[in-house]
Amino acid sequence: MVDISRSNVKLTDLNAYLKFVSKDTISAAKAANINLVDLDGKAITTEGWYDFTRKQNSSGQYVGDGARFIVDGLLIKAIELTLTDNAFGDNDMRVDQIYDPGTPVLKSTTITASDTPGLLVNVNSLTTTELGKSDTYTVALMTKPTSNVTVKMTGLDTTEGSLSSSSLSFT
């Protein structure tokens, strides 16, 4: 259980939990005779981001492995991670711990694992003020880059704000 109660994250800010499964993890699992599968039971054979949001049955009960948000009113108080085996692809193949749990996101489209390059942008709701209050968002690559990647940041109305950087670099 990960306590996030002090962060004041609203239920509308997050709706999914993603986990990155690397090529090294896939190789280590294969060497350990572990078949990696996603939460729908499909084999994980390529590195990428996979949905690790815990499923609910037709009665609304949580079933199987995954992450679920513990809520109190409209706020998310904690994230509960359930991992009964290591078939999902943690970087540490031991069953008794989670080395790289994943990341909560606001998912507005379906994200599927593939080897097609792309960007994953997590923008909850950015709020700034004329008094200097800043805000942040998260950007990640959908696949591991084969060489350096630079993303140019454009489209900002400079009369309304500024970016701390005009580009992002991934190596």
**Residues near 12 by beta carbon (within 8 Å), at least 6 away in sequence:** 74
> 107 or 124: whose pLDDT is higher?
107
What pLDDT, on a 0 to 100 scale, did the predictor assign at position 109?
Answer: 47
Q: Which residue has the tokens 């080897």?
A: 115
Q: Average of pLDDT values for 105-123? A: 63
**Residues near 33 by beta carbon (within 8 Å), at least 6 away in sequence:** none
**Rounded CA separation 85/88 (Å):** 8
What pLDDT, on a 0 to 100 scale, did the predictor assign at position 126?
Answer: 63
**Rounded CA separation 18/132 (Å):** 32
**Rounded CA separation 125/100 (Å):** 26
**Rounded CA separation 19/31 (Å):** 21
Mean pLDDT of the chain: 77
Dump pLDDT digits (tens) for 116-148: 667 777 665 566 666 777 777 777 777 777 788
Residue ranges of the domains in the chain? 2-123
Dump pLDDT digits (tens) for 18-39: 888 888 888 888 888 888 888 8
Q: Are 118 and 128 in contact (CB under 8 A)?
A: no
**Residues near 125 by beta carbon (within 8 Å), at least 6 away in sequence:** 13
Ranking 89-93, 114-118, 147-151 by mean pLDDT, the lowest is: 89-93
Between the CA atoms of 44, 139, 82 and 29, what dihedral angle is there, to the nearest 10 degrees? 30
